[in-house]
Amino acid sequence: IWNALTDNFGNVMPVDWKTSYTRSLHLPSLNLVQQPVDSVNLDLSDDEELREQMDLHSIIVSCVRGMSVCELESLLDEVEKKIREFSEELIDQLALRDELDFEKEYLTTVIPYEKRSGGPSVEDLQILTKILHAMKDDSDKVPSLLTDYILK
């Protein structure tokens, strides 16, 4: 806030209220008694204890220890079910990615055509038409049709 207020006045440093003259005049009227500040002792064992308490593994273990065998088996079935669902989803997503990669390669495929005198033959036009219709219909036969045409 200070910077927003003082930007138009050049480089004015913010006021340090703890050491300001105004504060020293107000303190006696407020009857505030300043208590000496003790140095804060950082106890690293408390931090370690808190870290252990917040450790996810220990939280789970403490919850699992209180469960019956039936509850544990139910939980295991639930976890296995979720693993299967996520694995199936992963496989579907990987298959989709592979399919999209294949389509990217497929869309950039160039049908070779050699310019001859007199244009393409009727047979070539029929094969090219068949390939283009298969591409339009998104047929699985397109790779084999292209391969046959190229090797011909």
CA nearest to 15, candidates 26, 27, 7, 6: 6
Per-residue pLDDT averaged across 46-60, rounded?
73
- What pLDDT score was predicted for residue 100? 80
For residue 55, the model assigns a pLDDT of: 75
pLDDT in tens, 3-26: 666 666 666 566 677 787 777 777
pTM, two decimals, is 0.34
Using alpha carbons, select from 44, 70, 72 the residue that is nearest to residue 60: 72
In this predicted model, what pLDDT tens digit does every residue of 76-97 receive, in sequence order? 999 999 999 999 999 999 888 8
User: What is the C-alpha separation between 93 and 87, in angstroms, rounded?
Assistant: 10
Query: Minimum mean pLDDT among 45-49, 73-77, 134-138: which range?
Result: 45-49
